């Protein structure tokens, strides 16, 4: 069953019949053909399999996780695929990433959502752990969902990533996070993450080495 579902997820990706001067990949989600422009010189400008897993989950579980009119923020949005799919499913999306990725992210988001979505998504800079209260004040920023795909890998900013999750998450915020396990650092981050959040595996794809998590803040029922 795992291999069948993974094959179905990967079938959502297609490639151009003709090679052009600009590299792009195509995807079928939420009843739309989505074209994503990539860059091979940066991790954040490539679509990774975890993003496809999260998009597939959002599409096939749209009744249980109804995104219509929900406030959604994606951290580490990269090329924007997850943000685009969430927007096509009716969410009010803020897609965030580092400043050097915003140009390509904005291009992909605009190209694939203009006149197609109930709410036009926003693209905003977010450097993990930096100026969080200034740019995303807790008093006025409320997100129903935080989404993340493959944000944990071999990089030196895991402390800042955890700080960012903690800052953006309110008591009723749901985190949907897809992660590919590569190194022991991923396991260490999951252990630290669970000191702040209740974590539940909602889908597992052994053939892709990817897990999909749902998380909420610990102690929320006591508030």
The CATH number given to whatever domain includes residue 46 is 3.40.50.150
Residue 155 lies in a domain: yes
Q: Given this model, what pLDDT does residue 40 score?
A: 60
Helices vs. strands in the chain: H and E counts, helices first: 7, 10
Residue 137 lies in a domain: yes
Q: What DSSP state is assigned to residue 109? A: H
Residue 175 lies in a domain: yes
Segment-wise mean pLDDT, segments of 10 residues, the chain, 223 residues: 92 81 87 88 76 97 97 96 98 96 94 96 97 96 96 82 96 96 75 94 93 92 49
CA separation for the pair 199, 212 (Å, rounded): 10
Residue 174 lies in a domain: yes
Please state the domain count of the chain. 1
Enclosing domain of residue 15: 1-217
Residue 118 lies in a domain: yes
Under a CB-based contact definition with an 8 Å cutoff, are residues 100 and 131 in contact? no
CA separation for the pair 86, 147 (Å, rounded): 10
Residue 222 lies in a domain: no
Q: What DSSP state is assigned to residue 95? A: E
Residue 127 lies in a domain: yes
Q: Given this model, what pLDDT does residue 223 score?
A: 41
Number of neighbours of residue 182 by Cβ within 10 angstroms: 12
Dihedral pair phi/psi, residue 6, rounded to 5°: -65, -40
Q: Given this model, what pLDDT does residue 106 score?
A: 95
Residue 223 lies in a domain: no
């Amino acid at each position: 069953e795992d291999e069948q579902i993974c094959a179905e997820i990967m079938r959502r990706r297609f490639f151009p019949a003709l090679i052009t001067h600009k590299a792009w990949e195509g995807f079928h989600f939420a009843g739309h053909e989505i074209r994503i422009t990539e860059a091979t010189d940066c991790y954040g400008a490539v679509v990774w399999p975890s993003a496809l897993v999260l998009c597939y989950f959002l599409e096939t579980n749209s009744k249980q996780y109804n995104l219509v009119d929900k406030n959604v923020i994606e951290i580490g949005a990269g090329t924007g695929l997850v943000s685009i799919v969430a927007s096509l499913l009716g969410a009010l999306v803020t897609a965030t990433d580092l400043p050097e990725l915003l140009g390509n992210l904005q291009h992909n988001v605009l190209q694939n959502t203009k006149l197609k979505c109930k709410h036009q998504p926003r693209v905003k800079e977010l450097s993990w752990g930096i100026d969080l209260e200034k740019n995303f004040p807790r008093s006025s920023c409320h997100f129903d969902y935080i989404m993340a795909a493959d944000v944990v890998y071999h990089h030196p900013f895991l402390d800042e990533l955890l700080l960012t999750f903690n800052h953006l998450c309110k008591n009723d915020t749901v985190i949907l996070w897809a992660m590919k396990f590569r190194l022991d650092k991923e396991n260490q981050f999951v252990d630290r993450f669970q000191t702040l959040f209740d974590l539940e595996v909602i889908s597992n794809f052994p053939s892709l080495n990817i897990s999909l998590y749902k998380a909420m803040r610990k102690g929320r029922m006591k508030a």
